[in-house]
Structure 1
Amino acid sequence: MRKRLSLKCCLIWFGIPLTVWLTFNLFSWHLKLTADWNQPNRLKLRAKKTLLVRKDSLKKENGGESPKFEQQCEALSEVFNKALVKRYNVTVLHSLGVVLSPEDQKLRDEGYQKFAFNALISDKIGFHRAVPDTRFPKCRDVKFPSIDLDASIVICFFNEQPSALLRTVHSVIDQTPPELLKEIILVDDSSTLDDISCQIETYVNQHLKNVKFVRTPERQGLIRARVFGANHASGKVLVFLDSHCEVNTDWLEPLLLRISHDPSTVVVPVIDMINHDTMEYQSSPLVRGGFNWGLHFRWDQLPASMQSDPELGLKPIPSPTMAGGLFAMRKDYFHHLGEYDLGMDIWGGENLEISFRIWMCGGRLEIIPCSRVGHIFRKRRPYGNPAGGDTLIRNSLRVAHVWMDEYKEYFLKQRPQAGHLDYGDISDRVSLRKHLSCKSFQWYLKNIYPEQVVPGQTNNVEIYHHFPRNQLRKEPVIIRHGQLTHVDSSLCVQSEKKPYTKKALLTLAACDTKTLDGQKSQMWYETVDSQLLLAQLLCLDVESGMVGKSYARLMKCHGNGGSQAWTWTDKGETSLLYNPASGKCLTVTAATEGGNLFLDLCTGTKEQAFRLS
């Protein structure tokens, strides 16, 4: 009898609590994935809360609000903002990217394969971080009046990396006044990574009250998914963001203020760059959108007349086209203007189509310099068209036939393969153009984009050049130079061939300080942009590859960082050359003459010890 009673007691007092505990932990583990889904270390929110507590304390000390109180609060805010920015500076980001184990390597490699950016660092950052205020100083002094508009933020995603997506959402919540934020609408375009999609939905439903999670019944592509999301929106203004962004300080107010002045204006923030290898947030220059006759979007320098404007950096910049990933417009105007061309597939060309339509049909398209949003410019598009085929060229063909009139011939000459493609029924878009009384493409070129050179014609306007997204090339600024020496062997790093030979492997050789030829072939120059140039000719680079060793080589310097960025880091008493793009360190295959260099986990062994002197 005692035995039965004892077992029963054990079952009641120990078995049931144990079962509950195990169930809870299994459920928590299921939600966790690779990022910290519950985010206990909410840096920015904690800092904001502390700031509010300190403000309350100051208010009591000053007997209520006063000029002195406001002054102290501004100073306090500045201190906190600096502290937050410092939390994720370049040095910290580089340390987060170090590959310390095979598990780190697997997460990093899978991240590049699935999402085309560094998922290892993205996960370690988490859902909240402060980014540097990249606005021009004059923007920081702007005081915004009360704005009688609210915004629905529409974010569409397909197989997106969870921490990048949720950091996008949290950055909007953290940086947006609640009275202006009607809602955030997350549109899952039928992601095929079901486990990730379900975990994101669960997290949103449990933690984010002002976020609606909706899912398309089947894969629609970005274009139709955005219309799907817009139809679920209830705010007066639609703001479309990509699923891997981070918004900056006072990002929404300038957009809404401009729209409140002119309801037919579509506005775009300045798109800052988030490095796909290091997750570093980098300021972008003021540029505007253009296109070439193959209907590829490009960034153009501002004409000299705009660059000399004393109000540059503060006033709106008319832009012939937009990149398409980030923009805002009134919801009623979006519907009035015809939303998107639903005959387009997946992605591509929709940004030029809506840009032409805005200008030709009575609207304006402007870049707002005081609004900044960071965007991860991925290494490639990690997904394609499930039905196969090039959606960009097919969509561009629809653009040409609907909006370009006789100028479509220039597109067809640039892309002759497009002439044989079926571009579908465009009758509804032709009717829309007629219904909106839109102007001709000739009018657009003459009045909106006179700088565009028409083949065979000479434009009597200032000609300026377009340039890539990574800004204009610049001469490297040398900070020091010397021989790159492997400490343990006292051998120097040089090219296996002449120092001007591209793709040449690097090797160890006896240090030569006496002959001119030796000095040249072993002299390395370190730049302010973390490049290492041999004989000021070619850069230390690393071949990209998922399998086998990644060997160090000499390549033409491109100035984009990535595989050509090298930073010195210490592990114990060992000084290592760390490559943030790979998360690994420079290593010798053998500490003997003829030994090659490759990248390996940063373990701090003698094979990885170098110095520049």
Structure 2
Amino acid sequence: MRRRFSLKCCLFGIGIPLTVWLTFNLVSWDLKLSANWNQPSGLKLRARKSLLVRKDKTNYSIEYRGNSPQFGGQCETISEVFNKALVKRYNSTVLNSLGIVSSPEDQKARDEGYQKYAFNELISNRIGFHRAIPDTRDPKCRGVSFPTIDLDASVIICFFNELPSALLRLVHSVLDRSPKQLLKEIILVDDSSTHDDLSCQIETYVNQHLQNVKFVRTPERQGLIRARVFGSHHASGKVLVFLDSHCEVNTDWLEPLLIRISQDPKTVVVPVIDIINHDTMEYQSSPLVKGGFNWGLHFRWDHLPANERNDPKLGAKPIPSPTMAGGLFAMKKSYFHQLGEYDVGMEIWGGENLEISFRIWMCGGRLEILPCSRVGHIFRKRRPYGNPIGGDTLMKNSLRVANVWMDEYKKYFLKQRPQAENVDYGDISDRLSLRKRLSCKSFQWYLQNIYPEQVVPGEDVKNSPPLPHHLPNKKKKPVVIKHGRLKHVASSLCVQSEKEVYTKKALLTLAVCDEKTLAGQKSQMWFETVDNELILAQMLCLDVESGTTNKSYARLMKCHGIQGSQAWTWTNKNGVSVLYNPASGRCLTLTSARPGGYLTLNLCTGTKKQEFTLS
């Protein structure tokens, strides 16, 4: 009897608790894998070769062997946390709250994200794979009935070391916002990413969750140009749509592209490229412009001519464009191959957009921007990865463009970039033969008929100057929504410049509030604008000192009007009103709550050192 009682004690006293403990740990381990899908798994897996690019002094060729390579091992899986039924609309306030850095772990994730991807990984991961974005089309484009379209599209997305949340959000946006009968497939081309763990996770997710998506991989790094050619040879749709890997497509984006191509198979079409802010992930509308170039063969955006700006159909009517940015466009598959695909003698990236733009116009085609199709794109300030072959690929590629297509006008390119004289640009005989076979027109014809706005050196300037950077930004007068003294609540001290209000780079400090004298009213008066700027005495903007991640001071700088480091939002953190800077992910913080104490930016913890008001 005693022995049976002891055995029962063992079973119930030890066996059952042990079973519960093991079950709990197994479940916890599985949940951890699902929750932390973006963490490295440590696997170093290689792909089998399916494409070879052979290069020698006289020829460039591409060979395809076998099927798409697959990873041979196991990797962590990506969980589909955000269901379509739970799609959220993230306004700027919500996005700012998602970017708040509240802990050293947040700061590490944010810093590593900018280093790897050149945009805010913290917010991108927190958004998930589905989100609602504003319909930025002109009202004339909305609510229309599309005719029957007898074309279908293969959407080709090439990527190299892309953030999974950004890439898969693009994929889901295409699936969510494209008619099934028009979307033949999505082809993801992994250009031999070196982040094997993330690439493996993306492939596994595609295989498990996405039926209409193909995943293919190059055996070695090819660069954007050859990777796109590789992807096009895997496509079965009648139209090829190329998208960069950090985009999101908008409402009814695909139909206008296919309709225009069905009307004229030799028309290459480009959506309007909206902006996805690289700091906040906010989706922002872009104005209507067209593509151009300077004589250094750098792409630029140009103003629309007066006759196009005054057209009552502007906003819905196709806009002929001399060039395209190259990241997003659609053309009939048969025409892409007939026109010579890309120049695979080019390396990695750069210049291919101008080359194909010149070729389209000069060889009998047409290039248009369609305002009724909108796609958002993350415009990064830098390319987060290097060039595996070394050298200046943009220089080499541009030199090939000049020697194949620009005729006597290439001299203007060489004057702008004289260092190109000594650059080996490889063999171009096949491209010259292509130009002859297609009976292409001269570059002079292109300038006179397609880009008359372009100023040839030595000629008089006849048109408005080009727009700087990737998109136009007209500087406008700040719209003030509130003004008053910026006060630290606990100390009742006011924020002012350590120097005169017009002194750039001056640090900010606390001082006794002076509401009586004219000098005090000027030096301590802040103006908050509709663009989230804080301007001292209507002179200089509150800005963030760059160049350090451990300690950043608040300072005064000339207002540039493009937000970024000069954007400040009021956010509630632990019941405290804090000033949050989305560009840094940090909050305005005191070093000392007494006169003379400087202001820095620190982790947003909601302490009394971070509580401010504007009154």
Cα distance in 1, alignment partners of residues 255 and 13 from structure 2: 62
- Cα separation, partners in 2 of 1:255 and 1:531, compared to 1, 3 Å: same
Aligned residues: 573
CA distance, structure 1, for counterparts of residue 411 and residue 27 of structure 2: 64
| Matching residue of 2:214 | 212
In structure 2, the residue matched to 1:482 is 484
Specify whether residues 405 and 12 from structure 1 end up closer, same or farther in structure 2 by C-alpha distance, changes over 3 A only. farther
The answer to whether the aligner puts 1:513 opposite 2:552 as a matched pair is no
Structure 2 residue 85 is matched with structure 1 residue 46: yes
What corresponds to 1:606 in structure 2?
A: 608
Matched residue, 2:271: 269
Alpha-carbon distance between aligned partners in 2 of 1:21 and 1:331, rounded to the nearest angstrom: 54
Letter of the 2:247 partner, please give it: C
* Candidates 423, 427, 430, aligned match of 1:425: 427
Please tell me whether residue 409 in structure 1 is matched to residue 384 in structure 2: no
Give the CA deviation at 1:545.
Answer: 3.7
C-alpha displacement of 1:547 = 3.1
Query: What amino acid is the match of 1:340?
Result: Y
Structure 1 letter corresponding to 2:467: H
Q: What is the aligned partner in structure 2 of residue 90 from structure 1? A: 92
The residue correspondences of 1:263-412 to structure 2 (distance < 5 A) are 263-412=265-414
Give the alignment partner of residue 195 of structure 1, picking from 190, 194, 197. 197
| Cα pair distance change 1:22/1:261, threshold 3 Å | farther
- Look up the match of 2:139: 137
Residue segments in structure 2 that go unaligned for 5+ positions in a row:
40-76
CA contact (8 A) 2:261 2:267 kept: yes
Aligned-pair CA distance for 1:573: 4.2
Distance of 1:514 and 1:252 partners within structure 2 = 62
CA-to-aligned-CA distance 1:122-161 (integer Å, 9 cap, x gap): 0000000010111100100321011000000000000001
Check conservation: 1:109, 1:546, Cα contact below 8 A: no
- Output one character per residue of 1:391-422: Cα deviation in whole Å (capped at 9) or x when no partner: 11111111111111111111111111111111
Who is 1:497 aligned against?
Answer: 499
Unmatched runs of 5 consecutive residues or more in structure 1: 48-83
TM-aligned CA distance change 1:195 to 1:515, over 3 Å: same
State the TM-score, normalized to the length of structure 1: 0.89
1:544 alignment partner AA: S
| C-alpha contact (below 8 Å) 2:590/2:597 kept by paired residues | yes
For residues 340-359 of structure 1, what are the alpha-carbon distances to aligned partners after superposition, in whole Å with 9 as ceiling and x for unaligned? 11111111111111100100
Q: How does 1:576-591 map to 2 (within 5 A)?
A: 576-591=578-593
Contact persistence 1:285–1:471 (CA under 8 A): no
1:79 corresponds in structure 2 to none
Q: Are residues 1:180 and 2:182 paired?
A: yes
Alpha-carbon separation, structure 2, partners of 1:495 and 1:5: 78
User: Distance in 2 between the 1:608 and 1:16 partners?
Assistant: 49
Q: How far off is 1:310 after superposition?
A: 0.9
Q: Which residue of 2 aligns with 1:552?
A: 554
Structure 1 residue identity aligned to 2:341: E
Q: CA deviation at 1:425?
A: 1.0
Give the CA deviation at 1:481: 1.3
* Deviation for aligned residue 1:364: 0.3
Q: Which residue of structure 2 aligns with residue 33 of structure 1?
A: 37
The one-letter code matched in structure 1 to 2:96 is: H
Partner Cα distance (2:152, 2:18) in 1: 52
Distance in 1, Cα, partners of 2:17 & 2:102: 40
Shift of 1:29: 4.3
Question: How far is the alpha carbon of 1:515 from its aligned partner?
Answer: 2.5
Contact 1:303 1:464 (8 Å CA) reproduced: no
Is the 1:451–1:464 Cα contact (8 Å) retained in structure 2?
no
How far the C-alpha of 1:30 sits from its partner, in A, is: 4.3
Aligned-partner Cα distance in 1 for 2:536–2:522: 8
Post-superposition Cα deviations, 1:286-322, rounded to whole Å, max 9, x if no partner, equal: 1110111111111111111001111111110000000
Q: CA RMSD in A?
A: 2.4
Change (3 A) 1:579 1:261: same
Give the aligned residue type for 1:139: C
Q: Distance in 1 between matches of 2:177 and 2:98?
A: 24
Q: What is the match of residue 164 of structure 1? A: 166
CA distance in 2, matches of 1:260, 1:46: 34
| C-alpha deviation, 1:486, in angstroms | 1.2
The residue type paired with residue 103 of structure 2 is S
How far apart, CA to CA, are the structure 1 residues paired with 2:262 and 2:17?
63
User: Equivalents in 1 of 2:192, 2:224: separation in Å?
Assistant: 11
For 1:170, what is the secondary structure of its paired residue?
helix
Query: CA separation in 2, counterparts of 1:535 and 1:9?
Result: 76
The 3-state SS of whatever aligns with 2:447 is helix
What is the CA distance between 1:435 and its match in structure 2?
A: 0.9
Equivalent-residue separation in structure 1 for 2:215 and 2:11 (angstroms): 46
Contact residue 229 and residue 341 of structure 2 kept, 8 A? yes
SS in 2 for 1:466: coil
2:222 aligned partner, one-letter code: Q
Moved more, 539-548 or 175-184: 539-548
Aligned-partner SS, 2:485 = strand
CA pair 537-105 structure 1, distance change in 2 beyond 3 A: same
Kindly state the Cα deviation for residue 259 of structure 1 after the two structures are TM-superposed.
0.2
- Distance change >3 Å, CA 424–CA 19, structure 1 → 2: farther
Matches within 5 A, 1:253-264: 253-264=255-266
The residue type paired with residue 46 of structure 1 is A
CA distance in 2, matches of 1:387, 1:16: 56
Q: Which runs of 4+ in 1 moved over 6 A?
A: 1-25
Query: Could you tell me which residue of structure 2 aligns to residue 466 of structure 1?
Result: 467
Taking every aligned residue pair, what percent have the same amino acid on both sides? 73
Q: Structure 1 511/8 Cα, relative in aligned 2: closer, same or farther at 3 Å? A: closer
- The whole-number CA distance in structure 1 between the counterparts of 2:19 and 2:573 is 49
CA contact (8 A) 2:287 2:472 kept: no
- The answer as to whether partners of 2:113 and 2:121 remain within 8 angstroms in 1 is yes
* Other-structure match for 2:573: 571
Contact 1:153 1:239 in 2 (8 A): yes
Which is further off, 387-396 or 358-367? Answer: 387-396
Which structure carries more helix by proportion? 1
Measure how far apart 1:477 and its partner are.
Answer: 0.8
Structure 1: distance between partners of 2:212 and 2:513: 64
The CA distance in 1 between the partners of 2:484 and 2:15, in whole Å, is 74
Alignment deviations for residues 505-559 of structure 1 (CA, whole Å, 9 cap, x no partner): 1111222222222222221111110001111111101023453211111111111
CA drift of 1:443 comes to 0.4
Which residue is equivalent to 1:526?
528
Q: Which residues in structure 2 correspond to 1:64-79 (within 5 Å)? A: none
* Partners of 1:272 and 1:374 within 8 A in 2: yes
Structure 1 residues 543 and 310 mapped into 2: Cα distance closer, same or farther (>3 Å)? same
Q: 2:351, 2:520 → 1: CA distance?
A: 53
Q: Distance in 2 between matches of 1:547 and 1:135?
A: 39
Change (3 A) 1:14 1:187: farther
1:228 and 1:158 mapped to 2: Cα distance? 14
**Aligned AA for 1:40?**
V
Report the more deviating stretch, 89-98 or 466-475.
466-475
Q: Structure 2 length as normaliser, TM-score? A: 0.89
In structure 2, how many angstroms separate the alpha carbons of the residues matched to 1:151 and 1:12? 59
Partner Cα distance (2:595, 2:14) in 1: 71
| Distance across 2 between alignment mates of 1:132 and 1:266 | 26
Distance of aligned partners of 1:602 and 1:11 in 2 relative to their CA distance in 1, 3 Å threshold: closer
Deviations 1:210-259 (A, max 9, x none): 11011100000111100011110000000000111110000000000000
3-state SS, counterpart of residue 120 of structure 1: helix
Q: Give the SS at the match of 1:294.
A: coil
Residue 467 of structure 1: how far off its partner (Å)? 3.8
